[in-house]
Amino acid sequence: MNNRVFTVGSLIPGKIMLKPTQVQVRVPSESPKTEEINVEQNGKMYEIHPVKGKLLDAALAQGKQINYKCRKGTCGQCTVKVLSGQGLSPPNDQERKKLKNELANGYRLACQAEIL
């Protein structure tokens, strides 16, 4: 094992060549989704920044006052119309049961729709 001690004097440029350490930096190939999700509820528009989890939780955490009650997909109070934005989960059983044909018109239950 090489136990050389380097002093300040031994680090004078040109005296000793230290090999630079190789550092690997991983750069993500895709940038994270940043497209806002725009929804409407009771005539009010809300712009929600996509954060993984329930659409309702993201909206509330961002100060959007979306109506809700049960959080179980049964009352329908959290129904929103998705105007733009992608990255939501497909409708689950509660949404299909509660919203029926309204799903085709862009309506979702904010407490059930997941931001992926």
d(CA 78, CA 55): 10
Distance CA 45, CA 75 (A): 21
Q: Binding of ligand FES at residue 86 (CB under 6 A)?
A: no
Does 61 interact with ligand FES (rule: CB under 6 A)? Answer: no
- For ligand FES (CB under 6 A), the number of binding residues is 12
Among 50, 55, 58, 73, binds ligand FES (CB under 6 A): 73
Provide the mask over 9-48, with x wherever binding to ligand FES is found by CB under 6 A and - wherever it is not. ----------------------------------------
Q: Does 75 bind ligand FES (CB under 6 A)?
A: yes
* Tokens 């929103």, located at residue: 80
43 backbone φψ class: left, alpha, beta (φ>0; ψ -120 to 50): left
User: What angle is formed at CA 75 by the lines to CA 69 and CA 80, rounded to 5 degrees?
Assistant: 80
85 SS3 class: coil
> Which range, of 6-14, 25-33, 43-51, 66-74, touches ligand FES by CB under 6 A?
66-74
Q: Is 68 in the site for ligand FES (CB under 6 A)?
A: yes
Query: What Rg do the C-alpha atoms of the chain give, in angstroms?
Result: 26
| Positions that interact with ligand FES (CB under 6 A) | 68-71, 73-78, 109, 111
